[in-house]
Amino acid sequence: METTDHKLASKSASAAGRKQPEAATARTLWTGFEVPGLAEEVSSGDREKQSPSVPICGVVLRDRTSVEMVRNPSSGAVALLRREPGGKTTITREVACDGYRYVATAAASQIPHLPAEPMPYGSTTALFSAVAEFITKYSDLGDDEVALLASFSLSSFFGECLTLASSLLLFGAPLPAVALMRVLACVCRHPVLCLGSSVTGLAPELRPTRLICQSDAGTERQLAGFQFSGFTTQSAHPRQISGASVIYAADGELKTPFANLCLQLLVPRGNCSFGPPEQEREAATITSLQNQLLMYRLENYVKVKDSEFDVPEFYGPSREYARTLGRCIVDAPEVQARLRTLLQARSDAERTEDARTLDAVIVDALVVCCHERRPWVHVGEIAKLTNAILKSEDETVELTPKQVGGRLKAMQFRTTRLDSGGRGMYLLNGECARIHKLGRALGSVSVDKGLLGCRYCKNE
């Protein structure tokens, strides 16, 4: 939520501060908060006379005072944390400002992980490593993928500062994908685990990190709204829905062009399990990470908003991702450099994709399948073969099954759902003939070499 929503003026932000219980000597900001009468700012009689309360999940006032939602890990009580630009921080039930009384939204109950209070994080690099370490512990992902996810986590804390909110598509089997979504929920801002894309059940003041476990037609319609702020839903109560999102796309048949603006990740089958027992065991670690990430947001909000980080030599959506993720990494050029390397392959792929050379490699992979006399082939296998050929040619580009599926479609190959292994193609005679013909046109190495006994190779 932006300050302008409620016309907050900086002068009233400071004027409105009533006497707070002194927390300076206490070990935690929560000390005394729940003792009746002590932390109450206004008696209930006074309250009725006041303006109605406005539920919020977090706001930065014009004088740069931040108001954030926090949850007491021992009692579960939700309150507001108020941090003035000078660093003075208090926990309070409500923040009065410009005739409004801000209170924590009741929808906080939908958010499984909230910080308790800000906690020092050392340095950006240290925080980045701590987040990465947590993801690594509960996934079978490689260092590069984990680094990308850690960047995603940081960027989820600065949605209002970004041109493009990070979105991530997960491919692969459902169990490891759900486990990874739960892991990400521990390290993202205001995570909400959703069954589908519907926003009707979500309070409008919530701007959560959506973790959608099932892609549906609504997801395709709303994806652009998740990615770009300012675009509202058209209904009796228009609302903005932008914010970081993670969507499980299974075998990747999203039709919207905005799917190309998502980061993409194939979750390996062996991905570790992560559910309520692990969550309980790690409760203290999760709260500690959320606390540090909250401090990171509080201290760096303005820097991220003003950042002009860019990688002009990048191409297409990769450049926007470099901006989005890179801006959220403050005072850590080495982490930014790492990110640049990670996105380089994606940028190369987008560039190469335009040059259409990837099509030739995909067709080459299909020719190999014809030569193996396979009756059918899964898109995932085509992707694997394609990547093997690319690797053998010293290319760093790797294609996801989704990208391969897209290119196949563009080349007018029909894919259908073969079995539980996902979509694929039947290699009937007509199809093999077409593959060879196209291979010849695109300069496929395998057709060029020819296979003894293959009637399509001979066919000039």
Q: Which pair of tokens denotes residue 380?
A: 């995932």
* Residues found in the chain: 460
Helix (H) or strand (E) holding 116: none
Decide: is 366 part of the binding site for Zn ion (CB under 5 A).
Answer: no
Question: How many residues in the shown chain lie near Zn ion by CB under 5 A?
Answer: 4
Minimum distance from residue 433 beta carbon to Zn ion (Å): 10
Minimum distance from residue 382 beta carbon to Zn ion (Å): 16
Decide: is 364 part of the binding site for Zn ion (CB under 5 A).
Answer: no
The DSSP secondary-structure symbol of 106 reads G
Residue whose C-alpha is closest to residue 246's, from 136, 165, 144, 134: 165
Residue whose C-alpha is closest to residue 270's, from 400, 145, 181, 176: 176
Which lies closer to Zn ion via its Cβ, residue 27 or residue 449? 449
The DSSP secondary-structure symbol of 70 reads E
> CA angle 21-23-24, nearest 5°?
135
Which lies closer to Zn ion via its Cβ, residue 179 or residue 368? 368
Minimum distance from residue 430 beta carbon to Zn ion (Å): 14
Which lies closer to Zn ion via its Cβ, residue 276 or residue 453? 453
Minimum distance from residue 456 beta carbon to Zn ion (Å): 5
Minimum distance from residue 211 beta carbon to Zn ion (Å): 45
Q: Which residue is nearest to Zn ion (CB)?
A: 454
What is d(CA 71, CA 324) in angstroms, rounded to the nearest whole number?
Answer: 28
What is d(CA 434, CA 204) in angstroms, rounded to the nearest whole number?
Answer: 52
Q: Which pair of tokens denotes residue 179?
A: 């486990």
| Interface characters, 203-232, with Zn ion (x: CB under 5 A) | ------------------------------
Which lies closer to Zn ion via its Cβ, residue 11 or residue 455? 455
Which lies closer to Zn ion via its Cβ, residue 148 or residue 457? 457
Q: Which pair of tokens denotes residue 34?
A: 């729940």
Q: Tell me the three-class secondary structure of 52-79, residue by residue.
A: CEEEECEEECCCCCEEEEEECCCCCCEE
Decide: is 345 part of the binding site for Zn ion (CB under 5 A).
Answer: no
Crossing angle of helices 283-306 and 124-137, in 10° steps, is: 140
Decide: is 121 part of the binding site for Zn ion (CB under 5 A).
Answer: no
What is d(CA 218, CA 307) in angstroms, rounded to the nearest whole number?
Answer: 33
| Interface characters, 421-460, with Zn ion (x: CB under 5 A) | ------------------------------x--x-xx---
Minimum distance from residue 449 beta carbon to Zn ion (Å): 9
Which lies closer to Zn ion via its Cβ, residue 172 or residue 439? 439
Amino acid at 124: T
Minimum distance from residue 451 beta carbon to Zn ion (Å): 5
The footprint of Zn ion (CB under 5 A) covers 451, 454, 456-457
